[in-house]
Structure 1
Amino acid sequence: MATGLMTSLASSVRSAPGDGTAGRRPPRERARRRHSRTHRAGRLLLRRILVLIPTTIMVSLGIFAVAAASPFDPLTAHLGDNYQSATPAQRAATAAAYDVDQHWLSAWWHWWGALLHGDLGWSSTQGQAVGEVIAQRLPFTLGMSAAALISAALIAVVGGAVIGMRRGGLLDRACTALAAMLAATPPFVVSLVLVSIFAVALGWFPTSGARRPGDDYSLAGLLTHAVLPYLALTVSMVPWLLLTMRAAVVEATGSDPVRAARGRGVDGWALLRGHVVPVSVLPTLALLGTRLPELIAGAAIVETVFGWPGLAEALVDSAVALDFSLLAALAVGSAVLVLLGSALSDAAAVWIDPRIGLTA
């Protein structure tokens, strides 16, 4: 995707900010161009939303089907240590009480019926309404993921621009090798390394949770406990974004418009800001939407390793116990988030440069 976007944008550098051509357009023409870009981006976003509806329905159907085919017996979560000694009658009564004896297709149909009436259902694993579970845990997951994504994007854009402008140098080779190594390292390995060094060996940060046992949540406690999971999630997001930004900068610096700018005496920061970055940052922006599944999966792994009180633990418990209401809400919500993120990133790319031929 990055290469295709670069190809479509290479010729636009001549009219990028800093070369003076944009300022010579009449105000009426600039307004018309802005309106056209907004119209195309909005039309693309509307098409994606229309596609999102049937996709969400199919995803939810698949979730119920896969959960029903799971080898886990949901009664083990409800009966606990009494599972082996429970009689068939007791197991049947427990299954009926928790609604785990109905066919998965019937459960899917009833779940959608309740959802359309604003009822997310009752979580048998958490012992409370699904809406309450999400409301309590979502801020932890959303705050951690958003902070890590923003930090990773900033590090990737700045770092990729710097090493891309110094292609082949020692810094470029070192950063590229490190990024390739981290890209091949699973998030749980990064998490365990951070725990081993900074929590166990040095004792600088706590190993898990978001507060000390017995304490209430506080800003200082949250920030202290969030350092290691935040670092682990950020590190897992940086490599691909950094390598994409570097590749885009390298391609932009070798393009004819940039060589022409250098011939006019433009160099250094002015060249990077006015000619290279406006073209190079777009592939990284487009990649953010496609990396959302990785962010969600990475957040689930990191939260599990560090015992962060987000949605990951609830998702794992609901999957093991076949808690259809909570499992469907979390899985479908994640799918919708990924689809919306991809649609927004593509719409932003079309708005930034209408030469991009995305229509659906």
Structure 2
Amino acid sequence: MTEYLIRRVAQSALVLFLVSIATFALIHAAPGGPTQMMIAPGLSPEAMEVQKRNLGLDQPVYVQYGKWVGGLLQGDLGHTFKNHVPVGDILWPTIKNTFILMGAAWLLSLIIAIPWGIYNSTREYGLSDQTASFIVYLGFAMPSFWFGIILQQQFSLKLDWLPLSDMYTMGKEGDPVDLLLHLILPVTVLSLGFLAAYVKYSRSSMLEVLNQDYIRTARAKGVKERGVIFRHALRNALIPVITVLGMDLPILVSGAALTENVFNWPGMGRLFVQMAFSREYSVLMSITIVTAVFVIIGNLIADILYALVDPRVQLGKGGGRR
């Protein structure tokens, strides 16, 4: 297990290194890149060269990359081009806000979807199963921003039951009740997408397991259906679901940009859109790296959970599963 984790961490470090190279190269190759953003317009060629030298933009790209990575390793994400504000001061609060929003939607979806999918697998094509199928199609097909606007029109503008947008009402910052009211609409929008995926995966995975020979053997031995489901089938059926959960973990940090913009939620997804329009490339690079880190962490957690959920999934000494 220890050797496997060391191998995976080494692979993850390599992936992160490659992601950082790709991110830095793409940003510098983009139209209106950092050079144009960091140098004031209208400068004479001589003044422009002095400005480049002061900003370090006269150095080779690989030297600039090395300095950027060195800063990242020391916790320095750089500064914005326009106002020279530390990127960390902008980024870290938005990660917390996104985690609150996405975490609430994620947990609500899990609590509803997995039991519902398991229940539907035992009553295939029943009313509950057909209702879930409708929600799955709806969740996959309906644009989240459109659904959010419809909810705002109905419950905020017409009925005046819930806040229209933002994270807090002005003057009530830090009030948990006010936060809960502001969460209802965006969490409803986001949880529909999670719910659709988790119901589908948990139902199909459980159906596949219930058709296995060892399940038929357990039933033939007289094991009650509840025992068949929870003692024999559930742990194996959860393995594909864990894969999806591990891949969804980065979403808790990266956020849903469209939903955060519709509801004016001060999260990282909304920040990414704003910084893209402002061409604040240092912030965009930091968001990309943070998201990549959480993708890697999500994959590691998913691999570890494999072994915890199903004892048959063993981590071999060579780093593979057996």
TM-score with structure 2 setting the length: 0.84
- Aligned-pair distance for 1:165? 0.7
Which piece of structure 1 moves more, 130-139 or 152-161? 130-139
- Which residue of 158, 182, 203 corresponds with 1:201? 158
- Paired with 1:206 and 1:75, the residues of 2 have a C-alpha distance of 42
Q: How many residues align?
A: 315
- Which residue of 221, 226, 229 corresponds with 1:264? 221
Is 1:334 matched with 2:294? no
* SS at structure 1 position matched to 2:30: coil
Is 1:149 matched with 2:109? no
| Equivalent residue number for residue 224 of structure 1 | 181
Contact in 2 for aligned 1:45/1:344 (Cα 8 Å): no
| Equivalent residue number for residue 345 of structure 1 | 302
Contact in 2 for aligned 1:137/1:309 (Cα 8 Å): yes
| Equivalent residue number for residue 58 of structure 1 | 18
- Deviations along 1:134-167, whole A, 9 cap, x unmatched? 3322211112222222222222211100111101
- Deviations along 1:247-305, whole A, 9 cap, x unmatched? 11112222222222223333343332222222212221122112345665652322122
- Aligned-pair distance for 1:335? 0.5
Q: Within 5 Å, which residues of 2 pair with 1:264-283?
A: 264-283=221-240
- Gap regions ≥5 residues in structure 2: none
- Aligned-pair distance for 1:132? 2.1
| Equivalent residue number for residue 70 of structure 1 | 30
- Paired with 1:221 and 1:97, the residues of 2 have a C-alpha distance of 50
- Deviations along 1:179-219, whole A, 9 cap, x unmatched? 12312333323322322332233222112111223553322
- Paired with 2:56 and 2:155, the residues of 1 have a C-alpha distance of 44
* SS at structure 1 position matched to 2:256: helix
- Paired with 1:100 and 1:185, the residues of 2 have a C-alpha distance of 47
- Paired with 1:100 and 1:314, the residues of 2 have a C-alpha distance of 26
Is 1:318 matched with 2:275? yes
* SS at structure 2 position matched to 1:128: coil
* SS at structure 1 position matched to 2:168: coil
- Gap regions ≥5 residues in structure 1: 1-38
Contact in 1 for aligned 2:99/2:253 (Cα 8 Å): no
- Paired with 2:162 and 2:307, the residues of 1 have a C-alpha distance of 43
- Paired with 1:88 and 1:109, the residues of 2 have a C-alpha distance of 28
Contact in 1 for aligned 2:254/2:291 (Cα 8 Å): no
Residues 194 and 106 of structure 1: CA distance in aligned 2, closer, same or farther (over 3 Å):
farther
- Paired with 2:310 and 2:156, the residues of 1 have a C-alpha distance of 46
Q: Within 5 Å, which residues of 2 pair with 1:35-54?
A: 39=1, 42-54=2-14
- Paired with 1:77 and 1:206, the residues of 2 have a C-alpha distance of 37
- Paired with 1:126 and 1:161, the residues of 2 have a C-alpha distance of 53
- Aligned-pair distance for 1:336? 0.9
Contact in 1 for aligned 2:166/2:264 (Cα 8 Å): yes
| Equivalent residue number for residue 252 of structure 1 | 209
- Paired with 1:297 and 1:235, the residues of 2 have a C-alpha distance of 18
Contact in 2 for aligned 1:164/1:249 (Cα 8 Å): yes
Which piece of structure 1 moves more, 261-270 or 307-316? 261-270
- Which residue of 135, 140, 143 corresponds with 1:183? 140
Is 1:356 matched with 2:308? no
Contact in 1 for aligned 2:137/2:196 (Cα 8 Å): yes
TM-score with structure 1 setting the length: 0.76
Is 1:210 matched with 2:170? no
Query: Partner letter of residue 172 of structure 1?
Result: D
Is 1:160 matched with 2:120? no
- Paired with 1:242 and 1:98, the residues of 2 have a C-alpha distance of 56
- Deviations along 1:10-69, whole A, 9 cap, x unmatched? xxxxxxxxxxxxxxxxxxxxxxxxxxxxx3xx4433222111112112111211222223
- Paired with 2:83 and 2:269, the residues of 1 have a C-alpha distance of 13
Is 1:234 matched with 2:191? yes
- Paired with 1:43 and 1:352, the residues of 2 have a C-alpha distance of 20
Query: Partner letter of residue 19 of structure 2?
Result: V
Contact in 1 for aligned 2:155/2:161 (Cα 8 Å): yes
Contact in 1 for aligned 2:156/2:162 (Cα 8 Å): yes
Contact in 2 for aligned 1:67/1:322 (Cα 8 Å): no
Q: Within 5 Å, which residues of 2 pair with 1:117-128?
A: 117-124=74-81, 127-128=84-85
* SS at structure 1 position matched to 2:305: helix
- Paired with 2:127 and 2:120, the residues of 1 have a C-alpha distance of 9
- Aligned-pair distance for 1:100? 9.3
Aligned-pair identity in percent equals 26
